[in-house]
A = this chain, B = another copy of it.
Amino acid sequence: MKSLEEYIKNNSKVLPGDILKVDSFLNHQLDVKLLKKIADEFKRKFKKDNVTKILTVESSGIAIATMCGYVFDCPVVFAKKSQTKNLNGSIYMAKIESYTQNRIYDVCVAKEFLSPEDRILIVDDFLANGKALNGLVDIVEVSKATLVGAGIVIEKSFQEGPEIMKKRNVRVESLAKIKSMGEQGIEFID
């Protein structure tokens, strides 16, 4: 998605530790017009897959998932990072290691919101080390729902996430694939 690559070049910053700061449009301030274009592009890629539900993980996936729910005309479920008072009952859990926050946490989805009849599209802002996506794929597998694939906004193709997903036979559609980044700028895979 060339327009997204241009947008990323113009609106993000590369920080030490291979961190791409996209706070101005993707995970602190949100450019909703851009999110709509992203959702439209995912719809174009997964239009034949009869998606019945969008799955993501809080917090930074929620905005993308919401626009996808609107475009795909289906409900969204976001995995929660902590069990709050009002999330009782039986849940699916997975462990996820956060790259930016440098810690491991549990994520959970209430069992009632994933059924074997569902056809799930996972969406997220980043695919880097693959830990978040891996945890979501685990949850979908245990729920016996069908995993249609994963729609990723920005893939850091030089990290291990894409390879992990390939080994698990998960179809990943990443709209911007970063080959390398640093002081010299960001280079995308064509």
Residues in chain A within 8 A of chain B (CB atoms): 15, 17, 19-21, 23-24, 28-33, 35-36, 58-59, 62-63, 65-67, 69-70, 73-78, 80, 82, 84-88, 100-102, 109-110, 112-113
Contact = CB atoms under 8 A, between A and B. Distances in A.
Nearest to A85: B100
A17 to B, nearest CB: 7
Nearest to A15: B86
5 contacts: A15-B85, A36-B70, A63-B65, A82-B101, A85-B102
B70 A84 contact: no
Nearest to A108: B28
A109 B173 CA distance: 31
A58 to B, nearest CB: 4
A182 B103 CA distance: 39
B77 A110 contact: no
B87 A28 contact: yes
B84 A59 contact: no
A26 to B, nearest CB: 11
Contacts of A19: 85-86
A166 B17 CA distance: 46
Contact of A30 (B24, B33, B69): B69
Contact of A100 (B66, B86, B109): B86
A73 B112 CA distance: 34
